[in-house]
Every structure is written in structure tokens, then in C-alpha cells.
Amino acid sequence: MFNPRVTFAGAVGRLLAGLAAPILLLALAGAAHALPSFAIQTGRPCSACHVGGFGPQLTPFGRDFKMKGYTLRTNTFNLPVSAVLQASFVSTAKGQPGGAAPGYGANDNLTLDQASIFVAGGLGSHLGAFIQTTYDGVAKAWTWDNLDVRAVTTATIKGVSAVFGLSLNNAPTVQDAFNTLAAWGYPYTTSSLAPSPAAAPIIGSLAQTTLGVTAYAWIDSQIYLEVGGYQSPGAQFLIHAGVDPTDPGSISGTAPYARIAWQKNQGDWNFEVGAFALAANIFPGLDRTTGYSDHYTDIGFDGSYQLYAGHKDVITVDARYTHERESLLASQALGNSANAGQTLQDLRVDASYFWRGKVGLTVGAFDTWGTSDIILYGGNNVPRPDSSGLLFQIDATPWGDGKSPLGPRFNMRVGIQYTDYLSFDGSGVNYDGFGRNASDNNTFRVFTWLAY
């Protein structure tokens, strides 16, 4: 009998086995030579791939580089290795009861947010990888973080060029090349010391707790098609990888994922429109005792626009809407939800202006809303998931053109963020029932972001 779970697991195993040897060879070869970043591998500055000269927001060239499996090179290095550090000062309008995090005060905290090591580059013209491990300076723990290992090939069909690829990754949308979806959307840097709303669509909540394989086609650098599926690794594996396996829980069988997008380049501007979908049956908190699972169906639409004006000025606009339908039979049976049927909706929009590719200003807005549930959202004074607000950021990237006095490998971004909450976890006023307002969580953050 056909067993999709066994078949998918076998496919993951075969892909891992097929890629293990070349990845190992990459590591061994890299140990004997210099370890450059993507910029060294391609011979281009960070600004060639990234809007504003610093990641993760990609230019059309950067999108194409990712679609082609990180394989483009002009220098004969085998394994680019990079290190990234983020640190910040975080202040909220009112202190957070009990402290911003264990070991931190209620307000005005200075912290190392994270330090990451990347193994990222291509081997030949068919294999490439983006592998990140991160030390969380707030939780004081290591995690396996982002994984995207690719096998690609190119072809020309009736005069039309195409890239066909497989991605082994550990988060739905981490493999996406457009900065509209959950993994790489604005804000591009945050701190876990900053308060954040509790409710979010499941598609953005499965990062690092899943492992999946997706197959994609990138046709004429315009049409993107992708299908695949995700499963949950064993709890012990996730614990050793520094991830909580109970949040949100384990996937029952395979969670299918699909993506379609169309990009159009026209002179100095380009735009993209697309759609995405994920369906997942999840045992909440790993609990299988009820005989049920919670079912989530996320369907969404996204779009982006980029204008490259004179003197290296860039204007970008990104948007994403996600509609989630939930059938929470397991949570209801466990007494964690009053309703079996729920919906959750999420809207994100941001616009940026980068002056001379060095100084950026970004304004974003977000709105999350959904069905009322007196148990699921029982910690909210108004038992709803509703949260909304505005995000502002100004930043400077002086050496995105690769002309740092410390050499072309070094890059730096410094910036200021401000988050203005209009509603938080259900309402704008007294949202927790203890007199705290949404505006009390308004957050001022000064950050530095170093890469080498």
C-alpha cells in the first residue's frame, strides 16, 4: 500500500545521503583554503545581491543567485564561511512585568541578540548550501537555525531558459527568494527582549521544528513554481538542535506546501506577485492522547515592487496577506480551545527608501485578527488574537559597496527601530486585565549588525 509518510521520509533520506558526501568535501576543501563570503565567491559587493548593501532583502540579481543554488562564482573558492553578530539596546514605553527575559531587567536592556556562523556557498554548478547555526544571547543557547541545501540544474526548452532545483530546508518559506513571506520579511532584525503579540499564522511558526524537501522551477527568471512537504523530526533531535519540540507540536504525516510567483523586470524597476499555501495536521504539544490533531490551512498572497533610481537610490514596497483556517479538534479535546473552528488573518505591508545605497528608511504596518475564543485567548482581557501597529526603521550601511577599511569581507549596519502598537493581544486598552495598554509595549531599539 502507498504510504506517503514513508515515501516522503525516504525521499528526504535519499537527498540527505546524496548531498552528504559533497557537503563533506566542501568542508574538507574549505579547511585548506581561505573561507570567503558570498561576496568573495561572486566577486561582487553585498550591494549587488542585497537592497541597501546588507541582507536579507534581495535585489533581482540576488534572487537569481539564490534560485540557482548559490552556485555563481568568479573566484575559485569552495566553501564561503561567514560570521554575523547582532547586538541592541531595547527600551519599552513601560517596563515589562517580571523582566524582559530571565536575567534581564524590566526595561532599558543592552544585550547580544545573536551570533551566527554560516556555511554558505556552491560546489560546482549543481550543489549549494546556506547553513546557519546561531548562539542566542538572550536565551544563552545554541540552535541549528536556518538550513537550505540545494541541488540544481539548468535547461533551455524551446528557447526558454529554466532552473530546476530541490531544496532541503527546515522552515517553510526560508527557501523563498522574495522578501514578502514569513522567513525573510520585514523587520529583518529583531530582539527577543522586545514584547511581541502571541498569535501568528502557522506557516511562520514552524521554523526549525520541521524538515522538508521542495522541488521548484525558475522559468526565464520570471515564473517561479514550487511544491513540497514538511515533517517533524524526532523530539530528541530537536532538543539537541536547541529547539523546543512542543511548540507548536509535531506534524502528523506530511504538511504539503506550494508556491507560485511571477516577477517582471522592466528597465530600472521590477515587480512580483504571488501566492502560497500550507496545510498541516499538528499534535499540539506532542500530545496524541485525544486521537485528534489540529488542522491548519494557510493560503496567502504577496507582492513586491523595486525601483532603482539614479545615484544608487532604491525604493521598495512589499506586502503579504495570509488567511488561516483552523480546525482545533485536539486542542478542544485537551481543554485548550473553546471552538473547534477558527480563523486567523494577517496583513503585512512595508515600504523602504535607500539613499545612495547607504542610508535607509523603512515604514511598515501589520494587522492580525481572528475568531474570538475564551479559552485559547483566555489570557487576553478581550479573548481575541487581534494585534496591530506600525514599524519604523532608519539605518546606515556605510560599506555595502565592499570598500570597508577592514577589507571586502567586512560589512556593518547600524540602525534605530521603533514599534508603535495600536492593539496587542486582543485590544488597545487594558489588554491583559491588569491595566497594561498596547502602547505600553511600544519599543525603541538601537542595534548594530556586523558581518564578516
Range scoring the smallest mean pLDDT among 69-78, 83-92, 145-154, 226-235:
69-78
Classify strands 147-157 and 141-143 as parallel, antiparallel or unpaired. Answer: unpaired
Percentage of the residues of the chain whose pLDDT score is greater than 70? 91
Confidence check: pLDDT of 301 > 90: yes
Percentage of the residues of the chain whose pLDDT score is greater than 90? 80
Residue 311 banded pLDDT, cuts 50, 70, 90: confident
Mean pLDDT confidence for 101-128? 93
pLDDT at 41: 81
Say how far apart CA 91 and CA 185 lie, in whole Å: 23
Confidence check: pLDDT of 24 > 90: no
**What pTM was computed for the model?**
0.89
Residue 76 banded pLDDT, cuts 50, 70, 90: confident
pLDDT at 73: 85
Residue 418 near residue 392, CB atoms below 8 Å: yes
Q: Locate the domains of the chain by residue range.
A: 4-451
Closest to 77 measured CA to CA, from 111, 143, 137, 122 = 122
Confidence check: pLDDT of 265 > 60: yes
Domain 4-451 fold = Porin (2.40.160)
Say how far apart CA 394 and CA 355 lie, in whole Å: 11
Classify strands 223-231 and 109-123 as parallel, antiparallel or unpaired. Answer: unpaired
pLDDT of 140-173, one tens digit each?
A: 999 999 999 999 999 999 999 999 999 999 999 9
**3-class SS of residue 380:** coil
pLDDT at 38: 80
Mean pLDDT confidence for 393-400? 95
pLDDT at 248: 95
Confidence check: pLDDT of 12 > 90: no
pLDDT of 339-353, one tens digit each?
A: 999 999 999 999 999
How many residues does the structure list for the chain? Answer: 452
Say how far apart CA 399 and CA 45 lie, in whole Å: 9
Mean pLDDT confidence for 314-319? 97
pLDDT at 16: 39
